């Protein structure tokens, strides 16, 4: 039961792995447009994007460590 839940979560992360490429772009745009209005001058956007991409990367790595193959649509 736990393995099925883990597999379902990992395949969901694999399905949205394109977000890893989009996160720095969105973070840069948010910092550019809202950085001066944000307390701390917008560093929060970069730190948040880095944290989310790190967590997603670990989830994708865990998928392959557990023996998951390439994502097939």
User: What are the boundaries of each domain within the chain?
Assistant: 2-65
Cα dihedral 29→33→34→37 (10° resolution): 150
Cα dihedral 53→49→32→40 (10° resolution): -150
- How many CB atoms are located within 10 Å of the residue 69 CB? 8
CA-closest candidate to residue 34, choices 45, 48, 23: 45
Residue that wins the pLDDT comparison between 50 and 1: 50
Write down the pLDDT at residue 3: 54
Give pLDDT tens digits for 30-50.
999 988 888 878 888 889 999
Least confident range of 2-6, 47-51, 69-73:
2-6
Write down the pLDDT at residue 26: 92
Q: Is the predicted pLDDT of residue 15 greater than 80, yes or no?
A: yes
């Amino acid at each position: 039961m736990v393995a099925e839940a883990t597999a379902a979560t990992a395949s969901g992360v694999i399905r949205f792995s394109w977000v890893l490429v989009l996160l720095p772009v969105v973070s840069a745009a948010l910092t550019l447009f809202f950085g001066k209005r944000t307390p701390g001058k917008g560093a929060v956007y970069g730190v948040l994007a880095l944290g989310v991409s790190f967590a997603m990367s670990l989830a994708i790595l865990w998928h392959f460590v557990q023996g998951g193959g390439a994502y097939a649509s």
